[in-house]
Structure 1
Amino acid sequence: MRMIKLSLLSLAVTATTFSHAALAQEDLGNLLTQGKPILDARYRFENVDQDNALRDANAQTLRTRVGFQSGKWYGLSGLVEVDNVSRLGDAAYNDTRNGQKEYAMVVDPDGTEFNQALVRYDHQYGNGVFGRQRINLDNQRFIGGVAWRQNEQTYDGALAQLKPLDGLTLTYAYVDNINTIFGPDNGRYDNRTNPANIEGHSHLINAQYVVMPELTVTAYGYLLGLDNIAVTTTAPLGSLSSKTSGLRLNGIVAGFSYALEYAQQKDYADNPVDLDSEYYLAELGYTLKGVQLKGGYEVLGGDNGTGNRAFQTPLATKHIFQGWADQFLTTPADGIEDAYIGFTAPLAGGTLQAWYHDFKTERNSDSYGDEIDLSYAHPIPGVKGLVGLAKYASYSSDDEARTVDTDKVWLQLQYTF
């Protein structure tokens, strides 16, 4: 709420700086008359079946989003967006806040909060955003919004983008609070790995240059000061504070897409744990008659120190990496190697996806297990903006001491106005 009030105050202060002559040239009423409402509703059924003592989870939730995107006045605009997540039917699942610990986990707690509330300024050489906002950098491997979950992850802070040259984008963001998927509220059932709000002081630096269609170069440094969260429930607070520096190359050559990436992670801020781990990615894709084929190899390094000192991505949109069953949201202490292959294809007016993952430890290449993921999305005939989705993930464990056989099924309807 503090960031929301600051955003509205910033808009008022900025407006007073324009001269009377400027006001005559562009109508302040454009902020309202050229604005548009935001309406989005997403119903989801999620079933989780795990080969352990937990009862199967069956969750029905509805995420409703309403808001308003203003028009522009001399580059200034604003946005306000409120989300409500409501349970439908029985609470036969553990949402991390409802105390249903005998069930498998479905992280979609009930609640209502401001998802975004911001002021934005656009210029021909860039833009600036102040307030509660969505931040998705590159492929969201390190910084993202976790939009798959019903309560999206958003950021309180300020972001600036400069585009001084064609193809060059420089991004800097300062963040002092992260509104996580576990919110909007803490309670007696949460723990130090899943706070509703992550407090601290973080700096996100990203420089991307599109050299040519065949090559885009991205360099980044993410300095995460995360004060009130830990890598495990028994680890010290602040143990996820880190400095990640990396370089990514990607492009399309003769119909083949590729991505190569390397990053190094060190401890940062007041992290009481010494971190020193690495990240690697090599990916190759090809599109043939509308079918997108892709395979890759991703490594998040482990560490032989005490506790879990592996390469972590606490602010990533993790669901789109390392399998939809979400078995590796926290990188295990021995690290992880993920070899994957799959495709996306048009089918009967919809989109079909299929993926296979093989997981091993990074330190000694022992097998964790493998996973198969399938999904099909299709617009619902006769209702503009309504899309249906069926999705399935099946993880088979080869290391029952650290992972568990897991099947997940999702059925979803989403309407966007």
Structure 2
Amino acid sequence: MHPLKPALLSLAVAATSHAALAEEAPSTLFTEGKPILDARYRYEHVDQDNNLRHANAQTLRTRVGFQSGKWYGLSGLVEVDNVSRLGDAAYNSSRNGQTDYAMVVDPDGTEVNQALLRYDQAFGSAVLGRQRINLDNQRFVGGVAWRQNEQTYDAALGQLKPLDGLTLTYAYLDNINTIFGPDNGRFDNRTNPANIEGHSHLFNAQYQVMPALTVTAYGYLLGLDNIAVTAASPLGSLSSATRGLRLNGALGGFSYALEYARQQDYADNPQDLDSEYYLAELGYVLKGVQLKGGYEVLGGDSGPGNRAFQTPLATKHLFQGWADQFLTTPADGIEDAYLGFTAPLAGGSLQAWYHDFASERGGDRYGDEIDLSYTRPIPGVKGLVGMLKYAHYDSADRTRTLDTEKFWAQLQYSY
């Protein structure tokens, strides 16, 4: 062998190693990091057919933080939120004592929204700390990002991807920072604590067989110690074990979702739970317009108290209408038949939805709802998006629900 070849090989290896070390220098945590800056102004109007005064809430949610770069797969994130009222407190935030007004759940306060360490490698990731968790379509576990104070989780979460298309997720929850926080006070009750305490386990296995079929099996074991299904119910009555199967996919212009779940009591729940969930949904894209219709059922129960199928950790605003009339499933359950579309319009996006609600037990009508929204980036200001949104719920049984009208105007800037 030529004497220069070993020397050249050594130099090449050394150069490669040096480059690798340079790429993995601890300074990349800062030099490749990026600041987080987000501001969201919202005006919300609520008009209900009762003795409460109309709510008019102006709030500003400001978020600042830092997302680090990666060093040998390690990274970190810190994010702080502040929610501030602008103008008069002409609404009930659940904490401000304005109980003669309709509810707008956006309490004032400052809180660490996320603070976590993350490790990524080829076959998965792990996250430890206060974090955002959104599983599947957020029907059972989500961040409730619609409200000004996002729901986050003090948790340890791990994901494994041992095969192409297969994702296995497990999370242990120690504390849930709810939308009602950051603080409790003399106006809260057992249905809206700032923090939900307890020990919960989330299992989710998702396998994309092909574009036309994704199969997801899940088990959500929720030990929720200091919250109740209603203000008169015992603490722990939302602790539950929900196990289910979801099939969804797309083929051509069509999309679909089919889902079934069963919910039973768990941990120290003093109530005997046994209810079911069903979903059938079909969509079609026609010349850029996304059409979708579906039928969703959350089962009721004939026993004492409210033992219906509940979704306490869900992003509930995404489901059963934007007027938020069914954040707690009624004791007789609920059937929701819905139809709507999303369409591009004048550089933005227009949505329109119709819902028809009935009880799952007995088939009594609750009412119907029309939802409209338009979202558009604001020209000339990068990162600024405007939104107008409207919901009108018409009650068919005023002993159970109330006529409700809501309107939102929002501006959000993200850096």
**3-state SS in 1 of match to 2:409:** strand
Structure 2 equivalent of residue 175 of structure 1: 173
**How many Å separate the matches in 2 of 1:225 and 1:184?**
21
Structure 2 equivalent of residue 236 of structure 1: 234
What stretches of structure 1 of length at least 5 have no aligned partner? 1-19
Structure 2 equivalent of residue 226 of structure 1: 224
Q: Cα distance, 1:253 vs. partner?
A: 2.2
Structure 2 equivalent of residue 3 of structure 1: none
**3-state SS in 1 of match to 2:78:** strand
Structure 1 equivalent of residue 353 of structure 2: 355
Deviation readout 1:45-90 (Å, 9 max, x if unpaired): 0000001000000000000000000000000000000000000000
**3-state SS in 2 of match to 1:137:** coil
Structure 1 equivalent of residue 200 of structure 2: 202
**How many Å separate the matches in 2 of 1:38 and 1:76?**
19
Structure 2 equivalent of residue 95 of structure 1: 93
Instruction: Tell me if 1:29 matches 2:24.
Output: no
**How many Å separate the matches in 1 of 2:123 and 2:248?**
24
**How many Å separate the matches in 2 of 1:21 and 1:322?**
54
Q: Aligned residues, how many?
A: 398
| Aligned residue among 301, 320, 323 for 2:321 | 323
Q: Equivalences for 1:278-297 in 2 at 5 Å? A: 278-297=276-295
| Aligned residue among 137, 140, 143 for 1:142 | 140
Letter in 2 for 1:267: D
Deviation readout 1:320-358 (Å, 9 max, x if unpaired): 100000000000000000000000000000000000000
Q: Cα distance, 1:255 vs. partner?
A: 1.6
Structure 1 equivalent of residue 126 of structure 2: 128
**3-state SS in 1 of match to 2:226:** coil
Q: Cα distance, 1:364 vs. partner?
A: 1.1
TM-score by length of 2: 0.95
**3-state SS in 2 of match to 1:31:** helix
Letter in 2 for 1:136: N
Deviation readout 1:169-199 (Å, 9 max, x if unpaired): 0000000100000000000000000000000
Structure 1 equivalent of residue 408 of structure 2: 410
Larger of the two Rg values belongs to structure? 2
Structure 1 equivalent of residue 155 of structure 2: 157
**How many Å separate the matches in 1 of 2:42 and 2:83?**
11
Structure 1 equivalent of residue 211 of structure 2: 213
Q: Cα distance, 1:307 vs. partner?
A: 0.1
Structure 2 equivalent of residue 340 of structure 1: 338
**How many Å separate the matches in 1 of 2:211 and 2:403?**
42
Letter in 2 for 1:246: G
Structure 1 equivalent of residue 58 of structure 2: 60
Q: Percent identity?
A: 83
Q: Cα distance, 1:254 vs. partner?
A: 2.9
Q: Cα distance, 1:157 vs. partner?
A: 1.0
**How many Å separate the matches in 2 of 1:21 and 1:316?**
46
What stretches of structure 2 of length at least 5 have no aligned partner? 1-17
Deviation readout 1:109-145 (Å, 9 max, x if unpaired): 0000000000000001000000000000000000000
**3-state SS in 1 of match to 2:144:** coil
**How many Å separate the matches in 2 of 1:385 and 1:129?**
28
> How big is the alpha-carbon RMSD for the aligned residues of Structure 1 and Structure 2?
1.2
